[in-house]
Amino acid sequence: MLAGELMHSTKPASAASRAWVRLAPCKARDPCKAYSSSDGSATGWHAAVFVAKGADEARVRARFRDCEGSRNVGAEAWGFQLGVESVSEVPGGAGDVVFLADFLNALAWDVGAAKYNHPAMKAAYDGKGGVKEMKRSLKAKGDRWDHVHHPGHKTDDSWFTLLNQVADNLASCQVEIDATVTLEELKELVVQGKGGVERKAAKAATQLALSAVTMRQAASSSMTCSSAGTTEKYQRTMAKLTPSASRTLAVQYAPPSSKLWRKCTTPV
């Protein structure tokens, strides 16, 4: 057993095979805690979703970084770093925080239960502005950090799955974003697809919803978006689906008719 803080997993096999991992007792939200879920892609894009304790909105962020050949592993590390950065920027402190990730080692590296040697991970955890530097100042206040591994692409409606799937989608869309959305709007970024074509449609739907978010943010940031191009891509992909699959995704996820889309495109 490697020395490290205790962490949890919602996957029984992961908890059973590691002495330093316990089975997570619950996947529901505790309003007295803040939550940060992160993910990373082999493209170098990584993302984090942060919800403050008791808040009715979430901060969604995605960035790109050259992960020096480490594929998704380095991006997972930088996703976790982005989550910690979001925690560090909460005025007055975030309090107790639950960190979620579908890649177990992203959490194990922070608690000291796994080692890393690649430059990308060393920069994310040990470098200037890295996890350890921010952690020293944050945890000095006595706040508790919990680390929970939750496997990706689950289909339940739990709080953990909501946050994890949004982080996964943000990392896969390859769009730089830093925006605040309501929790109802957050649900519109949770699109999933089972088959290859449906996954493409899900990604297009998420990109369209993100375009709506960036439209709302455009007046106060330098971000740009191309909603027309994303709309065309979404419509082309939807046309390839079987009628039943198309109806299912269109009813559940078609952003042009969603609250988020209407809110962001209605002239003020």
Assess whether 51 and 17 both reside in one domain.
yes
User: What pLDDT sits at residue 98?
Assistant: 96
> What is the spatial distance between Cα 158 and Cα 11, in angstroms, rounded to a whole number?
14
> What is the spatial distance between Cα 264 and Cα 261, in angstroms, rounded to a whole number?
5
User: What pLDDT sits at residue 110?
Assistant: 94
Assess whether 235 and 163 both reside in one domain.
no
Assess whether 195 and 176 both reside in one domain.
no
Which of residues 132, 157, 190 is at a domain's end? 190
For residue 249, what pLDDT band results from cuts at 50, 70 and 90? Answer: very low
Assess whether 196 and 170 both reside in one domain.
no
Assess whether 32 and 110 both reside in one domain.
yes
Residue 240: count other Cβ atoms within 10 Å of its Cβ: 12
Residue 170: count other Cβ atoms within 10 Å of its Cβ: 28
Nearest residue to 51 (alpha-carbon basis) of 30, 24, 72: 30
Which of residues 171, 190, 209 is at a domain's end? 190
Assess whether 184 and 82 both reside in one domain.
yes
Which residue range is the domain that position 64 belongs to? 1-190
Chain centre distance of CA 39: 5
Nearest residue to 48 (alpha-carbon basis) of 108, 11, 99: 99
Assess whether 40 and 95 both reside in one domain.
yes
> What is the spatial distance between Cα 95 and Cα 263, in angstroms, rounded to a whole number?
32
For residue 224, what pLDDT band results from cuts at 50, 70 and 90? Answer: very low
Assess whether 153 and 245 both reside in one domain.
no
Assess whether 239 and 224 both reside in one domain.
yes
Is-contact 188 236, C-beta < 8 A?
no
Assess whether 130 and 228 both reside in one domain.
no
Residue 258 class from Cβ within 10 Å (0-12 exposed, 13-18 middle, 19+ buried)?
A: buried
Each residue's pLDDT tens digit, 131-144? 999 988 886 667 88
Nearest residue to 96 (alpha-carbon basis) of 46, 147, 61: 147
User: What pLDDT sits at residue 179?
Assistant: 86
Q: How many domains would you assign to the chain?
A: 2
More confident residue, 58 or 4: 58
What's 3's domain CATH number?
3.30.420.10
Which of residues 190, 215, 241 is at a domain's end? 190
148-162, 191-205, 218-232 — which one is most confidently predicted on average? 148-162
Please list, in sequence order, all residues whose beta carbon lies within 8 angstroms of the beta carbon of residue 175, skipping any fewer than 6 positions away. Answer: 62, 207, 210, 214, 225
> Which range among 7-21, 45-59, 144-158, 253-267 shows the weakest confidence by mean pLDDT?
253-267
- Chain-wide mean pLDDT for the chain? 79
> What is the spatial distance between Cα 54 and Cα 129, in angstroms, rounded to a whole number?
27
Interior angle at CA 216, CA 210 and CA 218, nearest 5: 95
Assess whether 102 and 178 both reside in one domain.
yes
User: What pLDDT sits at residue 136?
Assistant: 85
Nearest residue to 66 (alpha-carbon basis) of 126, 114, 123: 123
Assess whether 62 and 100 both reside in one domain.
yes
User: What pLDDT sits at residue 45?
Assistant: 93
Task: Using the predicted structure, report yes or no on whether residue 90 has a pLDDT greater than 60.
Answer: yes
**String of DSSP letters for 38-60:** EEE-TTSEEEEEEE-TT-SEEEE
Task: Using the predicted structure, report yes or no on whether residue 226 has a pLDDT greater than 70.
Answer: no
> Which range among 56-60, 179-183, 235-239 shows the weakest confidence by mean pLDDT?
235-239
